[in-house]
Structure formats: structure tokens, C-alpha cells
Amino acid sequence: MIDTDELPAAGNGLLDRRVFLRAGFLGGAALMTAKASAVERAAWMKNPGEGMSESGAPSAHESHLVRAPIGSQRGTTGSGASRSPLQFLDGIITPSRLHFERHHSGIPDIDPAQHKLTIHGLVDRPLSFDVDALARYPTVSRIQFLECSGNSGAALAPEPVQGNCAQLHGLVAASEWGGVPLSVLLDECGVNPAGKWIVADGADAAMMSRSVPMDKIMDDAIVALYQNGERLRPSNGYPMRLFLPGWEGNACVKWLRTIKVLDQPAMTKDETSKYSDLQDDGVAKLFSFPMGVKSVITSPSPGLSMQGAGIYQISGIAWSGTGRIRRVEISADRGQSWADAALDEHVLPKSLTRFRSAWKWSGGPAVILSRATDEDGRVQPSREAVLTGRSSAAFYHYNGIQAWAVGEDGEINNVYA
Amino acid sequence: MSTLNITIAVALLVSISAAAQESPGLGRPVTAAEIEALDFTIQPDGDGLPDGSGTAMQGALVYQSHCLACHGPEGQEGVNDRLSGGHGSLTTSTPVKTVGSFWPYATTVFDYVRRAMPYQTPGVLSNDELYSVTAYLLFVNDIIEENAVMSAQTLPEVVMPNRDNFVWAYPPRD
């Protein structure tokens, strides 16, 4: 067994990130006790289990694994959000059933046989594509995150709001998104040189619409048909949605029905009244599309109490709307000292990256933080830095460092460090 | 269609698919009439605004029967978004963002209400009712007179008070 005292990486018990990678660590003791005196069967090993089924469901013991909390504007059921339970998830893929939701007028029940995407405006040939036609196009598939630009808005409150990871940061998820590059469809239509923007419309009751610059559309935008290998879930835009890797979720219009090529943005309600960033000088920024570099420790986190002093894995997710995550640092002493976390194998651009560290919790009070850096050298800012220059009514694009306070009682709370 | 026309059409199709690389060319051409029925886009310069007109006086009645229950009298103190007031509050410690205090373009009011409001039954208002209720929201925000006629010509000319306080974050500078 490794002597953990020999592997300190930073203050208050942070261990070298390789600790968990070393063979024999924690496993050594188990090997010594492998001899049982009498063989036994658990209740579920005594008879054949249930048979096959057409569609799987999580274990009945995982009933806590649900989106939370579900909130909608007063008097409505479809203008609100539900959040991904980050504190219970590992890896980087969010199960489709747990992908967060943000709708403005509910989830339309679309008949795919009657749904079309029509591209028009400043094009040589306006064309429409039905679902079957799009499914015949060459598909690209990438594992990428989607984040609502209102994610983590609770951190704007003057005093830390107590809640779990889902409640505080659950408007982010990652999926394998598959679909047709929009550049292929636009080339087929022939974009007029004056066409510098598009405006995309959804087929929901609010006909949600957003303008997107042509550069992004031609770079990596797709009309997504697939999420994690299956057709999109209705709550994620079935049968087709716009997906703009790394850009704020609201612009990734669900239930996509039209794309109009324009010479300038259409200035829709959701890119002026909402999803714009008001500064304290009264000036508001429009079109702040990419999501900033960000990370959050998902375990330990509020609601997952510590089980006594000892070795713990600190694990979480990091992402950047402009590229790959290069580095995640962890502190267990409120930011006085930092150590690099280990990154899981899949470090993909505009995706979630899973990080892990080993921590020897003394049982005393501690404040744990994570700080991400992306491949362009952008470093996740402090809460204070994010809030500087903002209006108190500015709600979007919060990417400050999250601090969790671990108490002597093992309970974990949201704090501002 | 004559045989000659068909030949031309086929030749045209072939040249289109050759030009569009990697594309199976499965897009179906759409007619101007089809586009007209699909296109809800309204731009700040008024492009896309339909025929029709209305005043705030007429709009007060539309507001009363279709909006008041959720947005409150004159756009305030309703259960849903506040639509009026807050003028001059944006630089204070308690900014109030409304159609009047914050929105940069009057055309956006028409566009959004036509798309999405009234919340439970979007699409029920006629063009005249949409111009009227838009005029009403501009009137209760002290932006236009009660008898000013809003139409495809006049609505884009309305200058919103907060219009010049917006900058673009795209393209990013760093």
C-alpha cells in the first residue's frame, strides 16, 4: 500500500493526482482477505432474473437520479427549466433522459412526417428538407456540451444560495450530437455574398428565434438529428435542432423549422430583451455567444455528505466554449495552494472534460475549489472578477470559480471564497 | 410544362448538384407563396411587417382581453414579465428592464407578440390587433401618443429610448 503522506500535492491534504492511478492503492487490503469460509448467495442470485425488454430503465434503486428542480413562470408549465443532476453523474456524457431543459412555451408534439426545415432569404435557391431527406446526408457526430447561458445564475445572489449541484449548475450537459453540417445545406441553397447572418425559428408555440452570424454557421453548426445515438428527445428539439458547438444554449434553436439568411441580425426578443448582458454603466452587450471557460466539483458537493476522515476522490467537470480544456487545478485550502487534477482520457474541444484528484480529508473544515484553463490560456475567473462591471440585473454567462465548504460534520455548503 | 422546359429544368438540377459539393441534393425547391406562409421574420428596418394598423386607444381593449390577466394593468404588477416603466433605472442598483426602459427596437415588440402572445393561444390576434397592442405598450411606456397610428411604415420609425445603449460582443475582440 502506498504511503499517502509521501504524496502531498497542495495544502490541506490534496494528494498527487496519480494516487488513484497506482495499482494496489486501496486494493491491497482487499487482496489479503479474499478467503471466505463458506460460500453464500445473495437473494437475487437464487433464481433467474427478469427477461429482456424493448427499452431499458435505470435501477429502481436509482430513483433519486432525476432532473431537478422543475420551475416555470407563474401560471405556466412550459416557460422554465429543469436541471441535470450533476452530483450523481460521472464521465462526460449526460444520459439523454437527464439532459437539462429550458423551454419558452413547452415541448411541441411534432409529427416528423409533417415537419420540414426551410432555408430561404438571401440565397439563390430556397430549399426545404424533410426529416428523411436530411437523414440521407453525410452526418457528423461529436461529443460536445450544451449550456444555457443562464446557468449558475444563483451565484449572482449577494449571499450564497444553498442548493445542490443540479440546482446551482445543472443547466449544462454533454451528448454525442449527430447531424448534417449546415454549411452543406447552405451551399446547396447558394448563399448570396450579402448574407452575413441567419435567423433560426423553432416550431414551438413561442416560435423561439435567434440570429447567428454566418461565420459560425459555416464553421461548425449542424442540424442535429441524433443525441447519444438515438433521434433527439422531444425535449431536445425532436425531430431536428440547431446545434452551435460551444455557444449559448438558447441560440441552438430546438424544433428547427426555418433558417432565413439575412444581411444583419433580426433583433429578436431573445437576443435583445433576454440573453444580452447589461453592464453597470447601463450599456448592454448583444451576441455574447461563446460560453466561458468553467469548471465545478461535482463530488464532493452539497447533499453528498462526507463519510468520515480519510481518502476521497474529488471529481468534477470542466469545459470551454472555444476549445479544449488544458488544465484543471484543485485547492483544498480556499485557494491558498493549488494542485493539478488528472484529466480523464477524453479531452475534446467544446466538450465536458472529467477531472479527478485524490484528497486526504483530515475531518476538519476545508474549502475546495476548482479552476479550469483552456487551450487558449483563458483561466476561469473568480466570482468577484465575473461580477466586476456587471449590472445587478445581468444574469447570463456566469463562469466564476465555485467553492464548496466541507464542515467538521461532513456537510457541504455553497460559499463565496 | 413543355418537353423543352423539362430538359432545361433537368439540366439546371444537374448543374446545381454538381456545384454543391458533398451534398446529395435532396432539397426541394420552395415557391415564393410557400415562403410567405412560413416567414415570420420582422427586422428593425420594418422588413417583414404585414399590412394593417392600430392605435394605443384600440390596443387598450386588446390588452384588456388578451394580456392584462398575466401582465397586469398598464404592463405592471402582473404575475408574468413587467412590460412598462423602469425608465432611467438601468444604471441604478435596482435596474428594471422593460419594453420601455430596455428594448432597442419597437419592431421586436410586434415580432415577439405575433410569435408568442397571448401565451396560451398565440396566433389569435389579427394584424390590426397586433399593431394596436404594440401601440398600447409603446404608449404606456411614454414613447408614442395615444392616437399615433402604428403600421408597417410608422413602427420602424419609432425610436426606443434605450436604443443607443447596446454594443455587440460579436465578433469577439480577444
SS3 of B24-91: CCCCEECCHHHHHHHCCCCCCCCCCCCCCEECHHHHHHHHHHHCHHHHCHHHCCCCCCCCCCCCCCCC
Spatial CB neighbours of B52, under 8 Å, sequence gap ≥ 6: B126, B127, B128, B130, B131, B151, B152
CB contact under 8 A, A391 and B26: no
CB contact under 8 A, B80 and A76: yes
Please give the CATH topology (third level) of the domain spanning A103-285.
Sulfite Oxidase; Chain A, domain 2 (3.90.420)
Cα–Cα distance, A90 to A86 (Å, whole number) = 8
Across-strand partners of A17? none
Amino acid at site A321:
G
Cα–Cα distance, B89 to A396 (Å, whole number) = 19
Using an 8 Å CB-CB cutoff, list chain B residues near A180. none
Residue B55 distance to chain A (closest CA, Å)? 22
Q: Taking chain B, what is the end-to-end CA distance rounded to the nearest angstrom?
A: 56
Residue A139 distance to chain B (closest CA, Å)? 11
CB contact under 8 A, A118 and B80: no
- Whether the per-residue pLDDT at A107 is higher than 70: the answer is yes
Cα–Cα distance, A404 to A297 (Å, whole number) = 8
Cα–Cα distance, A355 to A327 (Å, whole number) = 9
The confidence band for A69, taking pLDDT boundaries of 50, 70 and 90, is confident
B94: domain CATH number is 1.10.760.10
Residue in B20, B70, B116 nearest the CB of A105? B116
For B113, the grid coordinates are 407578440
Return the pLDDT at B174. 56
Interface test with B, best of A103, A186, A218, A287 (most B CBs within 10 A): A287
CB contact under 8 A, B170 and A287: yes
The confidence band for A7, taking pLDDT boundaries of 50, 70 and 90, is confident
Residue in B26, B91, B116 nearest the CB of A133? B26
Cα–Cα distance, A235 to A233 (Å, whole number) = 5
- Residue of chain B nearest A273, judged by CA positions: B103
Question: Which of A13-17, A166-170, A339-343 is predicted with the least confidence, judged by mean pLDDT?
Answer: A13-17
Domain parsing of chain A, residue ranges: 103-285, 294-415
| B105 domain residue, yes or no | yes
- Residue of chain B nearest A376, judged by CA positions: B174
Burial A49-80 (b: 16+ CB within 10 A, else e): eeeeeeeeeeeeeeeeebbbeeeeeeebebbb
Compute the average pLDDT of residues B64-87: 98
CB contact under 8 A, A129 and B28: yes
Using an 8 Å CB-CB cutoff, list chain B residues near A188. 16-17, 20, 23, 25, 27
Using an 8 Å CB-CB cutoff, list chain B residues near A281. 91
Question: Which of A21-30, A85-94, A315-324 is predicted with the least confidence, judged by mean pLDDT?
Answer: A21-30
Interface test with A, best of B12, B15, B38 (most A CBs within 10 A): B38
Contacts 24+ apart (CB under 8 A), B125-129: B125/B62, B125/B66, B126/B52, B127/B50, B127/B51, B127/B52, B128/B52, B128/B53, B128/B54, B128/B58, B129/B54, B129/B58, B129/B59, B129/B62
CB contact under 8 A, A75 and B79: yes
CB contact under 8 A, B27 and A79: no
| pLDDT (tens digit per residue) in A114-127 | 999 999 999 999 99
| pLDDT (tens digit per residue) in B100-156 | 999 999 999 999 999 999 999 999 999 999 999 999 999 999 999 999 999 999 999
| B148 domain residue, yes or no | yes
Residue in B27, B99, B122 nearest the CB of A129? B27
Interface test with B, best of A283, A291, A320, A378 (most B CBs within 10 A): A283
| pLDDT (tens digit per residue) in A190-210 | 999 999 999 999 999 999 999
Cα–Cα distance, B145 to A312 (Å, whole number) = 67
Domain of B96 in residue numbering reads as 31-165
Return the higher-pLDDT residue of B171 and A329: A329
| B35 domain residue, yes or no | yes
Cα–Cα distance, B75 to B70 (Å, whole number) = 9
ipTM: 0.92
Helix ranges (DSSP H) in A13-53: 28-32
Residue in A130, A188, A207 nearest the CB of B25? A188
For residue A329, how far is the Cα from the chain centroid?
Answer: 19
Return the pLDDT at A4. 56
Class of domain A294-415: mainly beta
Compute the average pLDDT of residues A232-236: 98
Return the pLDDT at A38. 86
CB contact under 8 A, A184 and B23: yes
Using DSSP bridges, classify how beta strands A116-121 and A256-262 pair: parallel, antiparallel or unpaired. Answer: parallel
Helix ranges (DSSP H) in A221-268: none
Q: How many residues are present in chain B?
A: 174
Query: How many domains would you assign to chain B?
Result: 1
Residue B2 distance to chain A (closest CA, Å)? 22
CB contact under 8 A, B39 and A184: no
| CB distance B43 to A266 below 8 Å | yes
Using an 8 Å CB-CB cutoff, list chain A residues near B72. none
Question: Which of A31-45, A100-114, A276-290, B91-105 is predicted with the least confidence, judged by mean pLDDT?
Answer: A31-45
| B20 domain residue, yes or no | no
For A202, the grid coordinates are 423553432
Compute the average pLDDT of residues A211-227: 98
Using an 8 Å CB-CB cutoff, list chain A residues near B42. 266
